[in-house]
Amino acid sequence: MSAASTITAEAARRRTFAVISHPDAGKSTLTEALALHARVIGEAGAVHGKGGRRGVVSDWMAMERQRGISITSAVLQFAYRDLVINLLDTPGHADFSEDTYRVLTAVDCAVMLLDAAKGLEPQTLKLFEVCRHRGIPVITFINKWDRPGQDPLALLDEIEQRIALKPTPLSWPVGIAGQFHGVIQRGDGVMTAFHRTPGGATTAIEERVEPVEAAQRYGPDWQRAQEELELLELTGADHDQGEFLAAKTTPVLFGAAVANFGVRQLLDALVAYAPPPGPRPVTDGDPRPVTAPFAGFVFKIQANMNKAHRDQVAFVRICSGRFTRGMTVLHGGTGRPFATKYAQQLFGADRETIDEAYPGDVVGLVNATALGIGDTLHEGPSVRFPALPSFTPEHFAVLRSPDTATYKRFRRGVEQLDAEGVVQVLRSDRRGEQSPVLAAVGPMQFEVAQARLEAEFGVRTTLEHLPYEVVRRTDPAGEDLLRTMAGAEVLTRVRDGALLALFTSNWRMRAIADNTRGLSLAPLL
């Protein structure tokens, strides 16, 4: 088999997708349930005693386990059947949207997770719009069907009305939300009944139930499901692969991730319908085919994922070609050679050395400190993929360490957080380098920064929140003009030297701009 044929065949075996949802919809629980059904873990995470919450393999940060929420993205790569699954778990909280948006640049499909009782929620809607903008096909999993919730037809109607995506259920629940017996596969009409295992720690017991027996066993619930299925037939809510790949329809499944109900059906749907890696858009020229020479881009930087590995990992999505550990490639920004000696496969915080990878895979390059978020690595002629999204910060605070003896660790930790994109770091001539200003999309980013500085660098810090709400880019002339203005301040962004003008409000910014000749203000890039 030729090299191109091998790459084509291996790319066809890949499924790379993210799970998106509103906070508390069960996203990380579903992530672990998928890994459980793929038999890459033997039991769901141990209970950590926080309100009975279960810790999950993708939530590796102490703060995540304490609060029961995901605050950073994670990659889990595993085999299922004869395929390679690259599952990217994303933060659900709006304060970490930038991390989630970057992850969505690295996937070929998304699973939109809905709470059966709450339906479409604000953060889910925002993330779906990103998928729509990027043309990412979406599979919908309606979760928590083992608890009271909405009518299933009403949920389908909400999806169609609010996001203009036609739902095409692949399975249908037997029993209303809160009285979940199992699902009917629309293809053959056979029911799969679910039976819970103790604590939901292992895969649910599944029982195949023929229609005649199901009608006798479940009576009115079975009859109701059959009537609803007839309505779906009349409305033509059947799966069409072309419409799905065009992001016009969404296959829908029902389940309960915490009990592992319906999770295998979701995994099978991803195998059957989610697209493999295909040609990747570039900034100039035709989309890059998977058989082109090696190319990939960095969508995430993360340090200190494991206390046993005090290092930094660059997450690289492979877009084309074959990656082999130790190969020398070119850095897209500098054109300089870059060695890939320390390459690893990721599974949450766990990793192991990997020798080769193909389009769709995510490879962790260890201690690749020359790499930054959005950088491209490639063989052959230069290639550039579209820029990764960057959010405009809305919250600002001065960070200080009361203990001067820890200053070197403090500075090293702040530099690390800036490199990872946890926060943006700004320098203030007024305050000096020992008191950097942090800029964030949401205030929880400040909490993460402080918690990580203490846990990973042994540095305790204090925050002084600043009154600014609006930021614009300016130039040296603008810095001089704003130097004595009340309600404004100019700081330097450390990572690129950009001058950022901060204002206490939109009104204050407009008032200064209207009355200051020669002042240059532009949105952040």
Q: Which residues are annotated as a binding site for GTP?
A: 89-93
Dist. CA 49–CA 360, nearest whole Å = 37
Q: Are 101 and 130 in contact (CB under 8 A)?
A: yes
Q: How far is the first Cα of the chain from the last one, in angstroms, to the nearest whole number?
A: 45
Dist. CA 283–CA 451, nearest whole Å = 38
Dist. CA 238–CA 252, nearest whole Å = 10
Dist. CA 28–CA 381, nearest whole Å = 40
Dist. CA 76–CA 85, nearest whole Å = 8
Dist. CA 27–CA 32, nearest whole Å = 9
* HSE-up (13 A, CA, CB side) for residue 324: 5
Q: Are 19 and 90 in contact (CB under 8 A)?
A: yes
Distant-in-sequence, close-in-space partners of 272: CB < 8 Å, separation ≥ 6: none
Biggest alpha carbon–alpha carbon distance for the chain: 82
Dist. CA 492–CA 479, nearest whole Å = 10
Among candidates 379, 448, 460, 394, which has minimal Cα distance to 417? 448
Provide the residue count of the chain. 525
Please name the residue ranges forming H helices in 178-256: 211-234, 241-245
Q: What is the CA radius of gyration of the chain?
A: 25
- Joined tokens for residue 470: 């609006």
- Joined tokens for residue 383: 């290639």
Q: Are 358 and 318 in contact (CB under 8 A)?
A: yes
Dist. CA 406–CA 480, nearest whole Å = 34
Give the 3-state secondary structure of 281-306. CCCCCCCECCCCCCEEEEEEEEECCE
- Joined tokens for residue 153: 């037809």
Among candidates 509, 492, 490, 513, which has minimal Cα distance to 501? 490
Within 10 A of 386 (CB to CB), how many other CB atoms are there?
A: 13
In this structure, the strands spanning 424-427 and 362-366 are unpaired
- Joined tokens for residue 262: 């319906």
Q: Which amino acid is at 260?
A: N
Residue positions in the annotated binding site? 89-93
In this structure, the strands spanning 109-115 and 14-20 are parallel
